[in-house]
Amino acid sequence: MDDGELIVSQRDLQRMHVIQLTLEGRASVGRGAELLGLSARQVKRLRKKMREGGVKGVLHGNRGSRPW
């Protein structure tokens, strides 16, 4: 896989979309939490990760690593 290419799941796409909506002010943190089935605190953490690391910040930290 090329370094500039990301493969994301449908779940990750939805997560990124909702987090982006909250960052733009088009959805509240509470509504984003409700849509994703997460706590408001977790949505705040994801917002911070997306601001600091972009799309890669929202993806799971173990993505791409081998299980052993």
Q: In terms of C-beta density within 10 A (0-12 exposed, 13-18 middle, 19 or more buried), how is residue 57 classed?
A: middle
pLDDT for the residue 60:
65
pLDDT tens, N- to C-terminus, the chain (68 residues): 456 677 788 988 999 999 999 999 999 999 999 999 999 999 999 999 999 988 887 776 666 667 77
Alpha carbon of residue 26 to chain centroid: 16
- Phi and psi based region of residue 66 (left: phi greater than 0; alpha: psi -120 to 50; beta: remaining): beta
Q: Could you give the CA distance from residue 31 to residue 24 in angstroms, rounded to a whole number?
A: 13
pLDDT for the residue 49:
92
Length of the chain: 68
pTM given for the model = 0.78
